[in-house]
Structure 1
Amino acid sequence: MQTVELIATATFGLESVVADEVKNLGYTDMTVENGKVTFRADLAAIAKANLWLRTADRVRIKIGEFKATTFDELFEQTKALPWSDWIPVDGAFPVEGKSVKSTLFSVSDCQAIVKKAIVESLKRTYKTDWFEESGPLYKVEVALLKDIVTLTIDSSGSGLHKRGYREHIGAAPLKETMAAALILLSRWKPDRVFMDPFCGSGTLPIEAALIGHNIAPGMNREFASENWPIIPRQIWRDARAETHDLADYDRELEIIGTDIDDEMLKVARRNAGEAGVEDSIHFQRLDMRDMSSKRKYGYLICNPPYGERLLDKREIVKLYQDMGKAFGKLDTWSYYVLTSDEEFEKHFGREASKKRKLYNGNIKVDYYQFFGPRPPRPKTETIVTLDQA
Structure 2
Amino acid sequence: MEKMELIAPCHFGMEAVLKREVLDLGYEISTVEDGRVCFWGDAQAICDANVFLRTAERILLKVGSFKAETFDELFEKTRVLPWENYIPKNGKFWVTKAASVKSKLFSPSDIQSIMKKAMVERLRRIYGIEWFQEDGPAYPIRVFLMKDIVTIGIDTSGVSLHKRGYRQMTVKAPITETLASALIMLTPWHKDRILVDPFCGSGTFPIEAAMMAANIAPGMNRSFTAEEWGNLIPKKAWYDTMDEANDVIDREIQVDIQGYDLNPEAVKAARQNAKDAGVDHLIHFQERAVKDLSHPKKYGFIITNPPYGERLEDKKDLPQLYREFGESFKKLDSWSAYMITSYEDAERYFGRKADKNRKIYNGMLKTYFYQFLGPKPPKRPREPRQ
The TM-score, its normalising length taken from structure 2, stands at: 0.96
How big is each residue's C-alpha offset from its partner over 1:352-374, in whole Å with a ceiling of 9 and x where there is no partner?
A: 11111112222110000111101
Matches within 5 A, 1:149-298: 149-229=150-230, 230-298=232-300
Unaligned runs of 5+ in 2: none
- Does the aligned pair in 1 maintain the 2:4–2:61 contact within 8 Å? yes
Matching residue of 1:131? 132
How big is each residue's C-alpha offset from its partner over 1:329-353, in whole Å with a ceiling of 9 and x where there is no partner?
A: 1111111011112221111111111
CA distance in 2, matches of 1:286, 1:23: 40
**Structure 1 residue 306, shift from structure 2 partner:** 1.1
- Does the aligned pair in 2 maintain the 1:305–1:311 contact within 8 Å? no
Amino acid at match of 2:245: T
Count of equivalent residues: 384
**Structure 1 residue 90, shift from structure 2 partner:** 1.2
**Structure 1 residue 311, shift from structure 2 partner:** 5.7
CA distance in 1, matches of 2:311, 2:5: 38
Distance 1:372 1:310, change over 3 A: farther
CA distance in 1, matches of 2:362, 2:151: 26
How big is each residue's C-alpha offset from its partner over 1:194-213, in whole Å with a ceiling of 9 and x where there is no partner?
A: 11011111111111110111
Distance 1:76 1:185, change over 3 A: same
CA distance in 2, matches of 1:381, 1:108: 66
Distance 1:220 1:382, change over 3 A: closer
CA distance in 2, matches of 1:334, 1:186: 9
SS of the residue aligned with 1:372? coil
- Does the aligned pair in 1 maintain the 2:19–2:29 contact within 8 Å? no
How big is each residue's C-alpha offset from its partner over 1:58-78, in whole Å with a ceiling of 9 and x where there is no partner?
A: 111110001111222111111
Distance 1:382 1:191, change over 3 A: closer
Matching residue of 1:118? 119
How big is each residue's C-alpha offset from its partner over 1:146-171, in whole Å with a ceiling of 9 and x where there is no partner?
A: 11111111110000000000001001
SS of the residue aligned with 1:48? helix
Amino acid at match of 2:316: R
CA distance in 2, matches of 1:317, 1:3: 54
- Does the aligned pair in 2 maintain the 1:168–1:201 contact within 8 Å? yes
CA distance in 2, matches of 1:340, 1:46: 35
Structure 1 position 11 matched with structure 2 position 27 = no
CA distance in 1, matches of 2:57, 2:260: 28
Structure 1 position 34 matched with structure 2 position 25 = no
CA distance in 2, matches of 1:62, 1:383: 53
SS of the residue aligned with 1:156? coil
Structure 1 position 23 matched with structure 2 position 23 = yes
SS of the residue aligned with 1:29? strand
Which residue, 376, 379, 386 being the options, matches 2:378?
376
Matching residue of 2:45? 45
CA distance in 1, matches of 2:143, 2:382: 60
CA distance in 1, matches of 2:291, 2:306: 13
- Does the aligned pair in 2 maintain the 1:172–1:310 contact within 8 Å? no
- Does the aligned pair in 2 maintain the 1:289–1:322 contact within 8 Å? yes
Distance 1:284 1:81, change over 3 A: same
CA distance in 2, matches of 1:310, 1:273: 34
- Does the aligned pair in 2 maintain the 1:172–1:309 contact within 8 Å? no
SS of the residue aligned with 1:138? strand
Amino acid at match of 1:371: L
Percent of residue pairs identical: 53
Amino acid at match of 2:281: D
- Does the aligned pair in 2 maintain the 1:8–1:56 contact within 8 Å? yes
CA distance in 1, matches of 2:375, 2:284: 25
SS of the residue aligned with 1:191? coil
How big is each residue's C-alpha offset from its partner over 1:288-345, in whole Å with a ceiling of 9 and x where there is no partner?
A: 1112111111111110101215863331111111111001111111110111122211
Matching residue of 2:110? 109
Amino acid at match of 1:364: K
SS of the residue aligned with 2:343? coil
Runs of 4+ aligned structure 1 residues displaced above 4 Å come to 381-384
The TM-score, its normalising length taken from structure 1, stands at: 0.96
CA distance in 2, matches of 1:262, 1:342: 28
SS of the residue aligned with 2:50? helix
- Does the aligned pair in 1 maintain the 2:8–2:59 contact within 8 Å? yes
Matching residue of 2:64? 64
Distance 1:318 1:289, change over 3 A: same
**Structure 1 residue 383, shift from structure 2 partner:** 8.4
CA distance in 2, matches of 1:325, 1:97: 47
Amino acid at match of 2:276: E
Deviates more, 1:269-278 or 1:134-143: 134-143
Which residue, 340, 343, 356 being the options, matches 2:342?
340
- Does the aligned pair in 1 maintain the 2:303–2:338 contact within 8 Å? yes
Matching residue of 1:92? 92
**Structure 1 residue 381, shift from structure 2 partner:** 6.1
Unaligned runs of 5+ in 1: 385-389
